[in-house]
Amino acid sequence: PDMLAVCDAHGTFLRVNTAWERILGLPAEDLVGHGAFAFFHPDDIEASLGSMQERHSGDEASAFRARFRDATGDYRWLAWSFSPLKQDGIAYAVARDVSQLVAAEFEQRELLAEFEKLSSEETQPESAGFFSRVKEFLDGLGNRGSQSE
């Protein structure tokens, strides 16, 4: 389920659906009346603001990823779609937890870098361990796919 929110022009949550509590452990009373960026990872605020302001001049939706603090204090990767309604001074936001996808993408990049390194070497004594990791990664992708839907 997607997390839905209505925010004012300053990014303050006005309304949220119950998915925020189910997914992140954050009940509506912890969000409504608070600025969304208070929950963003500090390293993601500037890029997220830039993405939103780019689109805020028109009425187009913007899409971006940013880390968002959950009820335990950990950060989860959320894919955001943000649609401003300039004439009303509000915006609709949809967020989806993509933490597992981001972790898989990171692992894929690491494996590709390792593969490129190994394929450029004359001797490849480490390749058995590498291919074991590739197999584990691919097996994990199969398991993630069956769990996500």
According to DSSP, the residues that pair with 97 across neighbouring strands are: 78
pLDDT of residue 35: 95
Q: Label residues 97-107 b or e (16+ Cβ within 10 Å = b).
A: bbbeebeeeee
Strands (E) across the chain are located at 3-8, 13-16, 62-69, 75-85, 90-97
Report yes or no on whether pTM surpasses 0.85: no
pLDDT of residue 111: 85
| Residues with pLDDT less than 70, the chain | 53-61, 119-131, 141-149
